[in-house]
Structure 1
Amino acid sequence: MKKKKSTTLPPPTTLCSGYAQYWWLCFWWWELVLSSFTHTKETKRMNPVWFILSIILLPLTTVQAGFSFLDKIELIYKKPGETVVFSLSSVTPPIPNVTWKLITTMSEVLTLAAEWNGGDVNFYQDFKGRSTLNTTTGELTISNLTLKDSGGYVVEINNEAMEIKMLMVVLPVTKPTISMSCDDEKTHCVLKCEVNTTDVGEVSYSWTLGDMVGWRQSKKIKITKEQKEPSLLCVVKNPVSYEFSDRVVNPFSNNP
């Protein structure tokens, strides 16, 4: 099996070369990106949202010498097959031209998605045939979304970056299951909420104990003889969906 390439972060002296005038801002971004790494036993993996933003925002914010651009970032979650509309809040019609560029964790560089310079609208890559561009407002619409459409979309008007739309296309979560293991003395049991997390984005877990909704907020919980409610279930949620597990009997219940 081919080993997946891991993403690494260059040192600040390399990342910030060419931005000497704004070294403090560049180093601030380096610290921000560094903090977005998540650690596991096998590898160090960067959050894709922050990875994309780090590439886009470093040159944009340093050129503008400020953080005002941060207010122009919108994070949007969609499911495969849905349609997204990138509306612009900082644009006043009419506009002379508009360009949309895309960057993903796979490409790691900005590439053209759509552009208009007063004539015909041109679409690039696989945006042809499923996208429309409003030449009055600059609004971009993409239909039949796929997982590969996830990324940072930068809109430029008169060669000036105006806004960033962070699109994350994720799968809905599936129905979770609960595994349970108890100690030999039956003093406590550990329950774990299991679900396939492939391509579903950020996932949150919560537990219902009896009628107590949101009793715990974690993937794994421990119950003891103090918990007498008859049953438990877990809920898994991501930005586009949620699912409930089947209820399981509480082994410490007075009414099993």
Structure 2
Amino acid sequence: MKIINAVLLLTVSLAAAEVQYYGTGGSLVLRPKFSGAITSITWKHKGNIVAEWIKGSVDLEYLGDLKGRLDLNLTTGILTVNNMMKADQGLFSVEINNKVLPDAFEAQWIDNLNDHKVVVIATPLTCSSQSPSCKLRCGEEIKGAGTIQYFWKKGENGSWEQGERLIEIENTDETRRFKTFTCRAMNQISDKESKPEENPFILIERVLFFKIVIKSVALLFLLIFMVWFFWKNWNVLCRCGCRDREKDDL
């Protein structure tokens, strides 16, 4: 019987297992496709027993490196592994009522996108209102995070549209209608959204406008100061002149 189970387990291992993605500190929930009463159940990880129970004979016992982080539902057979670590990757298999199920789960660790910076970057750096076109990049390349999908939003109230990490925008009246561009990166366990980035085709014009306003205000204050300065000194000169004339009259 043990030989038969070993052969079946090997067959399950060689078969296409269902990939279950997880991140550091997350939980892994494994749901075997089984209906009916469970009288015995054994979960294995990398071929080693991690949870075992036999009704009326063996109390539920957790074993191995996952001990203390496991939770087995004896009614459904669902196994939950908490506080997952990168080292927990590998094949999970289950035996219920002395039968190895064809269900196998390949636990695969991927990086959480929330641990990375996601920001809209306009290229080239000289991109401005005078450029015929520019490219927008949704952050730097993230390795070890599985398959990443990228989405873009035009303006504050635009809808999300799936695209590539690098997109090209044309300097048209339609594009200049939107004040900002926002991107979102998403993988199997997480997603992260960038802050809205100013439209590079209108950003330079806005910066120039503010510079002109600031310079104009500065010049206005300088003019007011000069008028006040000359007015003050003119009054002093006038008072001094009046005193001199009064002395001459005496």
TM-score range, shorter chain: 0.5 to 0.7
Deviation at 1:245, TM superposition (A): 1.3
Residue number in structure 2 paired with 1:98: 41
**How many percent identity over aligned positions?**
26
Residue number in structure 2 paired with 1:151: 90
SS at match of 2:87: helix
Residue number in structure 2 paired with 1:236: 185
Deviation at 1:187, TM superposition (A): 1.7
Matched letter for residue 154 of structure 1? S
Cα distance change, pair 163–91 in 1 and its aligned pair in 2 (3 A):
farther
Separation (CA, whole Å) in 1 of partners of 2:27 and 2:12: 28
Which of 1 and 2 has greater Rg? 2
Deviation at 1:222, TM superposition (A): 0.7
Q: Which structure 2 segments of 5+ residues have no match? A: 1-7, 207-250
Cα distance change, pair 217–143 in 1 and its aligned pair in 2 (3 A):
same
Residue number in structure 1 paired with 2:123: 181
Matched letter for residue 59 of structure 1? T
Separation (CA, whole Å) in 1 of partners of 2:140 and 2:63: 37
Separation (CA, whole Å) in 2 of partners of 1:242 and 1:91: 34
Which structure dedicates a bigger proportion of its chain to helix?
2
Cα distance change, pair 61–131 in 1 and its aligned pair in 2 (3 A):
closer
Deviation at 1:219, TM superposition (A): 0.3
Residues 15-62 of structure 1, C-alpha deviation per residue, up to 9 Å, x if partnerless?
Answer: xxxxxxxxxxxxxxxxxxxxxxxxxxxxxxxxxxxxxxxxx9983499
TM-score, with length taken from structure 1? 0.59
Residue number in structure 2 paired with 1:191: 136
Matched letter for residue 64 of structure 2? Q
Deviation at 1:169, TM superposition (A): 4.3
Aligned length: 186
Higher relative contact order (CA 8 A, sep 6+): 2
2:122, 2:200 within 8 Å by CA — same for their partners in 1? no
Separation (CA, whole Å) in 2 of partners of 1:171 and 1:61: 25
Q: Which structure 1 segments of 5+ residues have no match? A: 1-55, 63-68, 104-109
